[in-house]
Amino acid sequence: MSDQPMKRIIFTLFILLVIITPPTLAQSAQIQRINPTNWWVGMKDPKVQLLVYGPNAGTLTYTINYAGVKLVKAHTVENPNYAFLDLVIAPTAKAGTVQLTGKRGSQTLTQPFDLKVRDKSPKGQGVTSADFIYLAIPDRFANGDPTNDKFADMADPNADRANPFYRHGGDLAGGEQHLDYVKDLGATAIWLTPVLENNQPLTNEGGVMRSAYHGYGFTDHYAVDKRLGGNEAYKSFVKKAHGAGLKVVQDAVYNHAGINHWFIKDMPSKDWLHQWPTYTNTSYKYQPITDPHGAESDRRVTLDGWFVPFLPDLNQSNPYVANFLIQYAIWSVENFGVDAWRVDTYMYNDQPFMNRCN
């Protein structure tokens, strides 16, 4: 046989191999994220569900070899880039670094996951009608660090105090520097509009391009926006607030996320969001929820319609979504020491989910 026919055969076999080999088997796997980013020993509930994300992360077989930590079950979903791992952490488990191992064929990956000792400083103190709560929008309150006003690598790189619709540069350092002002007003607690990352582009609202300075379009639940100073700045703010005798109320958004959220750009499954044949906005009407004789179709539009086109509606009846949101709330209390929660867009949430969350 001449070289030419042999080359044709080899080339044909190569093409067939490419066609019949599933992409998930042809490509190597990576682990890029684990959420929650860490957990603690000695928690009241010993269970935690890890969201593991990365190219083909869901095709790996996972094991954990750490005293007191048991991997009970690994779940796969539609998207092969996700795995959900159910862990049980025994009361005897010690703080340290757990090595999560994932294998597929000859490939072995290890990813560290920290178990920490719980901080005994004040947290979860709650608020009552006896509290006087001061509300502040961090971007609009005080600018304590002008170096973090804007970043060229973010979807919205603008900051301009002369423009009422752009970011103005306020941050957590500025809030921390003015806690005495809040205290002098007689307040016993401070509620900040959301501090989580809002890496959203400018959006057209009423014919005007506006920034997400308000904070209600999350793009990463485990990262405080770096324009506000990041996670460490939030920890410092809460600690200083407690030192001044002020409680901290965190603003929660369970109903939706920002269109630029990393898990929206590459969803675990189609039912991660409430999906419609064509775009459907909420009606903003509460009557279909409270009226026992209201039409189910109206109720569904209120609850499952999107708040606006750039804030996709999360499906809280999906157990992975529910676990993700609840664990994020628990993590925030433990990690930052927040005392209470204000829940945004409460009536649009799935009520069985909210009861479980509360």
pLDDT > 60? residue 56:
yes
Domain 133-357 has CATH 3.40.50.720: no
Burial class (CB in 10 A: 0-12, 13-18, 19+), 249: buried
Q: How many CB atoms lie within 10 A of CB 238?
A: 26
From start to end of 277-348, where are the E strands?
A: 340-343
Per-residue confidence (pLDDT) for residue 8, from 0 to 100: 53
b/e map 148-178, b = 16+ CB within 10 Å? bbbeeebbbeebeeeeeebbbbbbbbbbbbe
Locate CATH 2.60.40.10 in the chain: 26-116
pLDDT > 60? residue 26:
no
Per-residue confidence (pLDDT) for residue 133, from 0 to 100: 98
Q: What is the DSSP code (8-state) at residue 10?
A: H
pLDDT band for 184, please (50, 70, 90 cuts).
very high
Q: Which CATH architecture has domain 26-116?
A: Sandwich (2.60)
* pLDDT digit string, tens, across residues 117-172: 999 999 999 999 999 999 999 999 999 999 999 999 999 999 999 999 999 999 99
Q: Which of 100, 86, 80, 180 is nearest to 134 (CA)?
A: 180
Average pLDDT, stretch 340-354?
A: 96
Locate CATH 3.20.20.80 in the chain: 133-357
pLDDT band for 287, please (50, 70, 90 cuts).
very high
